[in-house]
Amino acid sequence: MHGPPLVAWLLVALGAATAAYCLVRTRPGCPGTTREEREQRSAARAEALMGAGMAVMAVPVSALDQPPWASAVLAVVFGVAAVRSLLLVRRNAHHLHHAVGAIAMVYMTAAMEGAGGSAHAGHGAMGAPLLTGLLLLYFAVYVLAAGVRLVSIPVTPATGTAGAVAVRHAPELASACRVSMGIGMFAMLLTL
């Protein structure tokens, strides 16, 4: 990733922490018998993939020079994720956001590859300014709207063993992860 190494490492930490929390939300044995709960776990899997991908893409070039095939692998993984999300939009409109995020990841991977020959190398302007601007606008609006929804979610206190399950599936934590990933995507697009 371009930009200051501190920003890149903060994005790595943000993406990895978000991916880890989303993976916890998908664990077997967690609530998942109703259609809504299965849908939430499906969304958590998509968000875990996005967080992990953000962490990988944000690693500074000075720390790790990725192999030449890494960009192609990322583009294929997120291309498949985008198609899957688009197919799931009929069941839940939130998958459209996952599709936009996956398409943005493919775009950033392709832009960085085209600029420097590897996923992290190259300097100067990359990508199409209009598309970058539209994606920046989308993620800015998404973060603001998700932040407003996050503020309006009532916080429920968690206690005991049931509290651990409640914390793991707390809607405010899931919303906070979505806000943080949106901010991360915005920051990654800014460094493009």
Judge contact between 46 and 81, C-beta under 8 A.
Answer: yes
What is the structure's pLDDT at 113?
A: 79
pLDDT of 7:
86
What is the pLDDT, as a whole number, of residue 77?
Answer: 95
The 10 Å Cβ neighbour count of residue 3 is 15
Tell me the Cα Rg of the chain. 17
Q: Determine contact, residues 64/25, Cβ cutoff 8 Å.
A: no
For the record, the structure tokens of 51 come out as 């967080």
- pLDDT for res 91: 84
The set of long-range contacts for 64-68, using a CB threshold of 8 Å and a minimum separation of 24, is 64/120, 65/118, 65/120, 65/121, 66/118, 66/119, 66/120, 68/117, 68/118
Give the model's pLDDT for residue 122: 39
Contact 79, 102 (CB under 8 A): yes
* Parts of the chain with a pLDDT under 70: 1-2, 28-33, 115-126, 153-171
pLDDT of 159 = 55
Per domain, the residue ranges of the chain are 5-190
pLDDT of residue 2: 65
Residues 6+ apart with CB under 8 A from 5: 60, 62, 63
Phi, psi of 186, deg, nearest 5: -60, -45
This prediction's pTM: 0.81
Q: Tell me the residue length of the chain.
A: 192
